[in-house]
Chains A and B, each alone.
Chain A
Amino acid sequence: MSHNHGDTIPLHPSSAQSDMDEIESLIHAAPSPATVLPARPPSPTRASIPVSSSPAPSPVPTKPPFPAASIPISVSVSPVPVPASVSVPIGADGFGSPPNTLTEPVWDTIKRDLARIVSNLKLVVFPNPYREDPGKALRDWDLWGPFFFIVFLGLTLSWSASVKKSEVFAVAFAVLAAGAIILTLNVLLLGGHIIFFQSLSLLGYCLFPLDVGALVCMLKDNVILKIVVVTITLAWSSWAAYPFMSAAVNPRRKALALYPVFLMYISVGFLIIAID
């Protein structure tokens, strides 16, 4: 007898656990019909209100003597307003809420993209508290801004050149595009932790000051003025790129990662000064 009791005792915990699981599953199953049930009453209430309002004066004397007749009247009237009331809440609830950008005007699309580029530019080139953290500084990175700045600089240098315009554009574009890629690979090879395209994006945005410098130098053809303008914009670009590159690699290799960046900017600056 005691053996039988001992055998049955350990079975109870497992069976109890299974029972608890079943109860939990029932509890989880129970709320779904519970939520469905309250959804039905609102529509009948909405249906009942217009029914009571519309036939209010005429059926008042007839309701008490013929309750059975009044009930089928309300039932027959209720299906008519139900679809109208149901369709409106459905549209308001979820199906219609996401904005459809497919049919928006092209100008709105361009405006939104330009706004993003401007905000990214402000984050990269101007002071902000997130300069050390590229994840926060350039969360919504893109490659359209960098591409625009590279092409703009190439075109500006090409227009400034008196001879060999196409070759000037080719060399400028090659130096800038390949330079950004090589700088990113350099950091990766030194064991740094950066996202490849985010780095390309950030280095491209750092070209903005040099773009401004190139534009000024194209308009003014004075060597001394060119040197001053390029020096200022060169320092600005280097200042913008410094925290990102220095934070990406081991402190013992910081100089190895930063030197190529300065070399590229100095080379671009020299091209801006030399091309007349």
Chain B
Amino acid sequence: MMSGGGYSALDDPKASGSVPAATGTDPQAIRFADSNLQTFPPSEARGKIAGAYRPPTDADDTFSSKGGGAGSGGRGGSAGSDDAAQGGWFRMFSVAAYKPYFDVDTSDVVERIWESVFPFRGTFTEKTSENPDLYGPFWTCTTLIFVAASIATFVTYLSHKWHKKEWNYDINLVTWSAGLFYGYVTFVPLLLYVILKYLSAPAGLVQLWCLYGYSLFIFIPASLLSIVPIEIFRWVIAGVAGFMSATFVAVNLRAHIVNSGERWFLIVAGIFLLQLGLAVLLKLYFFTITV
């Protein structure tokens, strides 16, 4: 009723001036529309923001709890990433730091083993320069340790049986072969790395470990063939395996250091003789019968 009265009161001045009445009505409608538009989006936005913030918090909580529930594996992963980000000497104690050196597939390892059986190609260094691995060196070395110790035990056992003598297992074969092969594969490339760095022809340390590790693969079938109880045959097997292994290392290393200077021949010859020495030592200690 009151609004109706106001309306009738306004009609009189509007009737006298039609133009101001029209302009007066239009702005009111526009403003009303603006006010409506302004009210709806903010409330919706607030609702969305409020709704969106809570689930991520819950998700983070669940992820952290799941990580905790997973145990040391998850923590190890996170610790590895943290250590990698931080850097420093703590990094060497995390598993993640060594993953790049084990980033190989079965086909890669088989290919590299096959490469080591054909020593005259000299392409091993080129093929492994991108991603040298430590899987092959480590497990080749470990396999050789157990195979050598086992074959040596078997050979001496048969020999004692043949001669009707008492035989006792020598557990030191395992420890001695472990010391020999792990020591050789660890320290000889390290020494070579230092020498090459000194001669300003640097090679990657992991790459040298990779090269020497795969070079020992040929000794595994050689050890298996040494079961044959003929002394001359054993010497031939040791010689052939030693020659192939030494040639493999020498050819691949020569390809790397032939451009560096004039002493490359001495280094390659030294490497060759050292590998042959390993073969002779393997023959003498593991496959010599002492009845």
Contacts and interface: CB of A to CB of B under 8 A. Distances in A.
Do A and B pair up? The answer is yes
Nearest to B170: A164
B171 A168 contact: yes
Nearest to B107: A252
Interface stretch (A9-17, A72-80, A87-95, A212-220): A9-17
A197 B72 contact: yes
Contacts of A260: 139, 142
Residue among A14, A186, A270 with most chain B CB within 10 A: A270
Contact of A10 (B39, B101, B105): B39
Interface in A165-207: 167-168, 171, 175, 185-186, 188-191, 193-198
A190 B102 contact: yes
Given A164-B171, A259-B139, A253 B106 contact: yes
Contacts of A189: 95, 98-99, 101-102, 135
Contact of B106 (A162, A171, A254, A267): A254
Contacts of B169: 161, 168, 274-276
A268 B49 CA distance: 62
Size bin of chain B's contact surface: 35 or more
A2 interface: yes
B16 interface: no
A51 interface: no
A163 interface: yes
A10 B35 contact: yes
B159 interface: no
A143 interface: no
Contacts of A266: 146
A190 B39 CA distance: 58
Given A2-B32, A185-B95, A171 B107 contact: no
B17 to A, nearest CB: 21
Contacts of B73: 188, 193-196
Interface of A: 2-3, 6-7, 9-10, 13-14, 161-164, 167-168, 171, 175, 185-186, 188-191, 193-198, 250, 252-256, 259-260, 263, 266-267, 270, 274-276
Nearest to B103: A191
A193 B76 CA distance: 11
B165 interface: no
B258 interface: no
A276 B31 contact: no
Given A191-B99, A256-B105, A196 B146 contact: no
Given A197-B71, A253-B105, A263 B142 contact: yes
A198 B74 CA distance: 13
A84 B39 CA distance: 62
Contact of A188 (B35, B39, B95, B107): B95
A276 B147 CA distance: 19
Contacts of B101: 189
A163 B153 CA distance: 15
A162 B168 contact: yes
Contacts of B157: 274
A195 B31 contact: no
A263 B171 contact: no
B132 to A, nearest CB: 14
A171 B171 contact: yes
A191 B80 CA distance: 13
Contacts of A267: 146, 150
Contacts of A259: 139
Interface in B120-174: 135, 139, 142-143, 146, 150, 153, 157, 168-169, 171-172, 174
B174 A171 contact: yes
